[in-house]
Amino acid sequence: MSSLFAFTLLGLFTGAAYAIMASGLVLTYTTTRVFNIAHGAFGMVLAFTFWDFTQRQGLPTVVSLILVLGVVAPAIGWFIQRFVTRGLGEGPVSVALVVTVGLLVGLIGLAQQIWKPQPRVLLPFYPETGWQLGDTYITAHQVITIVCSIIVALGLYLLLNRTRIGTAMRASVDNPDLLKLFGGRPDTVAALAWAIGMSLAALGGILLTPVVGLDYFSLTLLVINAYAAAMLGRLKSLPLTFAGAMGLGVLESWAVAYLPTDGFWSTIRPVIPALFLFAIVVIMPQAQLRIGQVKGIIAAPVPSMTRAAGSGGVLLAFAFVLISLVSRSDVLLIGVAATYAMVMLSLVLLTGYGGHVSLAQFTFAGVGALAYAKLDEPNLFGLAMAGLIAAGVGALVALPVLRLTGLYLALSTLAFAVLMDKMIFQAEYAFKFNGVLATERLSILGVRIGSDRSYVWFMVLSFVLMGLFLLWLRRGALGRLLIAMRDSPSGCGTLGLDLRWFRVGLFSLSAGMAGLAGGLFAGLRGTVGAADFLYFQSLLVLLLAVVFGVTSVTGAMLGGTALMLLPVWQSSAPSLAGLLFAVLGFGAVLLGRDPNGIANHLFKLGRLGTGRLLPQWEQQFRLRLDGLLKPGRPAPAHSIDRVDEAVTEPMTGPMNQGVS
């Protein structure tokens, strides 16, 4: 009984810290409708700041705490609301997720650049003070954490329900225009909410640091626990959020105390927050979130199959020449880029065309790689089976969340990615004791592709074929149905379309595409391991896919290349590794509001150059080639702009021009 009391007390302490962070998350969402995935990253940076003030600058603990919680954190919250997330809550879910994921990645890079990796220790408050309660020793830090969580919960409840400012905060979400008519200032109220939320993130990070350590990723990803608590409160109920955080902390503590340390149960212990999150998202009814699917995207124009095939041929020819000239190590890097690009193509289907966000896409690639290695069939049959197994897993993931959309759907896929990473990929029965599995190169009709150059060129060919398949799908009736379901699910429901089962098929096909990429990647490497498919990679895949253009094949190609180059640049300049992460993350914040990404701007430049440089007879040739003019009909006396407009389907509009 004494051990049960001790571990329960320890769980309440951990849950109290979760409650503080989750309360800040709920506050920012309740007042601005922005779900801040970077909430934990802000807590991490501010915990480092507190360490810097106390250890490096030598300031007293109380003074440092006042500076961080009362000055630095509120200033950061005000800045983020005014210049980064302003108006983001009314946008599509992909935009809000990508912007906050960009903040998460950028903050990790910023922390690595300012505070270089080295061991650091942040002592608990009053480390020598404690009390003996029976057989259990209670520290002053634990008592302070629990008291702070109670004060935060009561304070926020009174603020939102018993004060004029709290009323204005809630009104700024429900009807900001009406609030303005009564003399309120929605932007000021939102900035205040973000300032308070940032201070709570800082407080939670500071209180948790003595337990989990001053680490970039541990503190950042602990926010998943806060997600689970916040979702129990349906992102609006502070009492339920507090109860969920406390319950989660106790469950984690009991798991450490009573679950076996070997076998299957040892894999359960580290994933209790993810299991809790997945169960809460699936079982509890959805709140009426105003942030929903990706709606109203004016996607990149869809080229004719003739133009798409021509572009694919040019890419294959360029890849052949490039692979022939570069070194073997660079050839393998091109194969890695092709892998990332194919995974991003699966996001083009799911997010760009279908309007659903997945935070587990690289996990599906890991499923395909693991299946390819386990089947030990290094041929087209084995590759196809790897894709089918990944597609089946994607369907199984989609089945429990048939009724979920938007933010709930994204968080459920994030929980699934964590579960796969901890319970499958890092388990002994997946990648054996040494954490890797040997694989063989693919063979076609009995002919093994043993050469690195030939295999990588085949991977580029696979990317081209996959891209052509997507464009063919998009130009057909199924593609138009996808766009209609993305832009107006209610309208499709009115016509009698079953969106739920269609979503299962969409998830399955997207996961299968990622699984094929994972199988090809396994053959490229010769060995595949758990470290190749960490769930954090899925965040980077989504981030770069949207930054470079999640609505076009070109964007997937550019995003895959950029993701391949990121670790290369980091290894070539280790002192600037954090800076590269920061540039990537904060650059994504600037570009994340445009789902067509950088590819869209390249299309515009290409259109401008083509319109000015191509002679009239070449314009007429292009028109005839696409079947848009009958022979003998004179070419129109206007620029090439109208050519791109003509090949763009009416549903996508002429806003973004170019070859996708």
If pLDDT is split at 50, 70 and 90, which confidence band does 592 have? low
pLDDT at 165: 79
pLDDT for 642: 35
Decide: 50 and 68 in contact? Cβ < 8 Å: yes
Structure tokens at 165: 């400012």
User: What is the structure's pLDDT at 456?
Assistant: 93
pLDDT for res 566: 84
Please check the confidence at residue 614 and state whether its pLDDT lies above 70. no
pLDDT for 644 beyond 60: no
**pLDDT per residue as tens digits for the range 201-218:** 999 999 988 888 888 888
pLDDT, position 300: 65
Residues 6+ apart with CB under 8 A from 299: 352, 353, 483, 551, 552, 595, 596, 652, 656
Q: What is the CA radius of gyration of the chain?
A: 26
- pLDDT, position 48: 93
pLDDT of the residue at 577:
67
Q: Which residue has the higher pLDDT, 408 or 383?
A: 383
Per the model's pLDDT, the better-predicted residue between 657 and 27 turns out to be: 27
Q: Does residue 513 surpass a pLDDT of 90?
A: yes
| Residue count (the chain) | 660
**Mean pLDDT for the stretch of residues 590-618:** 64
For residue 60, what are the contacts with CB-CB under 8 A and spacing of at least 6?
Answer: 54
Mean pLDDT of 358-382: 90
> 138-167: string of b/e by CB count within 10 Å (b at 16+)?
bbebbbbbbebbeebbeebbebbeeeeebb
For the chain, helix, strand, coil in percent to 5 are 75, 5, 25
- pLDDT-above-70 percentage for the chain: 81
Q: What is the pLDDT of residues 430-481, one digit of tens each?
A: 666 556 788 888 888 878 888 889 999 999 999 999 999 999 998 888 888 8
Whether the pLDDT of residue 633 is over 50: the answer is no
Average pLDDT of every residue of the chain: 79
State the pLDDT at residue 478. 83
Confidence (pLDDT) at 293 = 40
* Nearby residues of 646 by Cβ (< 8 Å), 6 or more positions away: 623, 626, 628
Give the side-chain half-sphere CA count within 13 A for 261.
2
pTM of the predicted model as reported, rounded to 2 decimal places: 0.82
pLDDT value at position 176?
64
Q: What percent of the chain has pLDDT over 90?
A: 23
Give the residue-averaged pLDDT of 258-279.
77
Interval 247-268: pLDDT, tens? 888 888 888 777 777 766 777 7
The answer to whether 461 touches 316, Cβ cutoff 8 Å, is yes
Which element (helix H / strand E) includes 430?
A: helix 428-431
Is the pLDDT at 659 greater than 60? The verdict is no
**pLDDT confidence of residue 636:** 44
Least confident range from 13-17, 47-51, 604-608: namely 604-608
Q: What is the pLDDT of residue 645?
A: 34
Residue 654, SS3 per DSSP: coil
In the predicted structure, residue 652 carries a pLDDT above the cut 50:
no
Given a cut of 80, whether residue 195 has pLDDT beyond it is yes
- Is pLDDT above 70 for 602? yes
**pLDDT-derived band at 514, boundaries 50, 70, 90:** very high
What pLDDT score does 650 carry? 35
